[in-house]
Amino acid sequence: MLNHTPTEIAERSALRINPAKTCQPIGAMYAALGIHRCLPYSHGSQGCCSYHRSHLTRHFKEPVMAASSSFTEGASVFGGQPNLMEGLKTVFTTYDPDVVAVHTTCLSETIGDDIPQIVGEAKRQDIIPEGKYVIHANTPSYVGSHVVGFSNMCTAMATYFAQEVKPARRRHTDATQINIVPGFVDPSDMRELRRLAEATGFKVTMFPDTSGVMDAPQTGKHIFYPDGGTTVDELKNLGRGVATMALGWWASRDAAIQVEKKAYVPREILDLPIGIAATDRFMQILKFRGGVITPDLERERGQLVDLMVDTQQHFHGKKVAIFGDPDHVLALTEYVRDLGMIPVHVLTGTPGKRFTSEAERILGPKAASSNIKSEGDLFTLHQLIKNEPVDLLLGNTYGKYIAQAQDIPFVRVGWPILDRVGHSLIPTLGYAGAVRLLTKMTDALLDRRDRDAPDHQFELVL
């Protein structure tokens, strides 16, 4: 399918071909689903909302509930206030959410609709029932990416709900509560983060938390608001935490800063805990904040170390290309480096100069011979791989076309994964997630070795 991608690379500034990202509202919608009894609300046209819902459904294999202002030509010209007012009325009378989380789209941003003003008017007209909430995040898609949209909605959660705490009252902190902003990860990853933090003795307030929402069990009954999600009370009490751990600079940092601004809860900004080093740093912060590393946690880590040693010969010196969301890509780059691999192409579609400097720091002297690119696209990645082939490709589903064209072993990781199942139920974060990833990478490399082996080298034991 991609046989005609040229090897000659031309600099492009005004054109993206097969972008390695999607638009802001998808991230905002996914984050909003992580609030208990929350209905995401897309202020724009129906087409945007349908695309965002269906894209999330294709990854999670779960229905995604969301409302839309359903703009038509009139709203596009005169503004979307009447649509939003009518939409809020319908949503509260028909679907009875506790929270409506409004995000904008390209169209409503271009018109310049003032969401706080419209919501204020809805309050004055008693459209928002007592005890119910409407929050909002601006998510113009012509800047940033779905990761930025996710971050903006997480920050809105802190802005709207976290109760202000004066420094003098910080003594009322609950020493057993820790806040975690998990990043744009699967529900299984959120469960895993909670499990690890609770194992050290903390009560965890995770926001957002899509576990129990986007991986709800099949019961035969449709439940509009599944049991999961961060409750409004938990969000109000973010100020009680001993710290807010923001996992991923792009997806989580701003929310933690906002909690710090409102309630003086210190922030701990960390990489996504993918692989051994990043998970170690996650556990060290838990320990530093008062958690206890139990023998069971040490055993988990030891098993991962054992597996890394057992498989070292399969990874050493192998070249790898990694693409996807910046927080994922940087953490994966560090992990494969620790496995002895050489990340020769490292690319994200999300803008940000920090991506390049962080990747350079992780790769050290090897960075000089690696291609590191932010705001890149998959056309460029394909060209880079054609110029310098790799042994393994890591990234989301969209990488399959490059993998097929270049005949490269491919491991699906990150978001979205549209052509496989089960990925959102099994974590890739933490020590257990690192074991899973390592297993998938080993399988991909050894399957290729078996496929290409002549009969006399087709071994039973590898």
Rounded to whole angstroms, how far apart are CA atoms 342 and 388?
12
Given candidates 2, 65, 85, 106, which one binds ligand SF4 under the rule CB under 6 A?
106
- Kindly state the DSSP code that residue 399 receives in the 8-state scheme: G
- Kindly state the DSSP code that residue 164 receives in the 8-state scheme: P
Given candidates 141, 205, 311, 442, which one binds ligand SF4 under the rule CB under 6 A?
141
Minimal distance, residue 415 CB to ligand SF4, in Å: 16
Longest CA–CA span in the chain (Å) reads 80
Asked if 425 and 444 count as a contact pair (C-beta separation under 8 A), the reply is no
48 binds ligand SF4 (CB under 6 A): yes
Total residues binding ligand SF4 (CB under 6 A): 7
- Kindly state the DSSP code that residue 34 receives in the 8-state scheme: T
Between residues 33 and 197, which has the closer beta carbon with respect to ligand SF4? 33
Rounded to whole angstroms, how far apart are CA atoms 105 and 124?
25
442 binds ligand SF4 (CB under 6 A): no
HSE, CB side, 13 Å, CA atoms: give it for residue 270.
23
76 binds ligand SF4 (CB under 6 A): no
105 binds ligand SF4 (CB under 6 A): yes
210 binds ligand SF4 (CB under 6 A): no
HSE, CB side, 13 Å, CA atoms: give it for residue 30.
33
97 binds ligand SF4 (CB under 6 A): no
Q: How many CB atoms are located within 10 Å of the residue 126 CB?
A: 9
Given candidates 5, 20, 23, 437, which one binds ligand SF4 under the rule CB under 6 A?
23
64 binds ligand SF4 (CB under 6 A): no
Rounded to whole angstroms, how far apart are CA atoms 102 and 88?
10
Minimal distance, residue 48 CB to ligand SF4, in Å: 3
Rounded to whole angstroms, how far apart are CA atoms 362 and 380?
22
Given candidates 21, 25, 285, 377, which one binds ligand SF4 under the rule CB under 6 A?
25
Between residues 138 and 141, which has the closer beta carbon with respect to ligand SF4? 141
237: left (phi over 0), alpha (psi -120 to 50) or beta: alpha
Residue written as token pair 């420094």: 167
51 binds ligand SF4 (CB under 6 A): yes
352 binds ligand SF4 (CB under 6 A): no
Minimal distance, residue 67 CB to ligand SF4, in Å: 15
Between residues 343 and 416, which has the closer beta carbon with respect to ligand SF4? 416
Pick from 63, 61, 38: which is nearest to 50 by CA? 63
Residue written as token pair 């399918």: 1
95 binds ligand SF4 (CB under 6 A): no
Minimal distance, residue 217 CB to ligand SF4, in Å: 31
Element (H, E) at 249: helix 249-263
Minimal distance, residue 309 CB to ligand SF4, in Å: 46
Between residues 48 and 148, which has the closer beta carbon with respect to ligand SF4? 48
Binding site for ligand SF4 (CB under 6 A): 23, 25, 48, 51, 105-106, 141
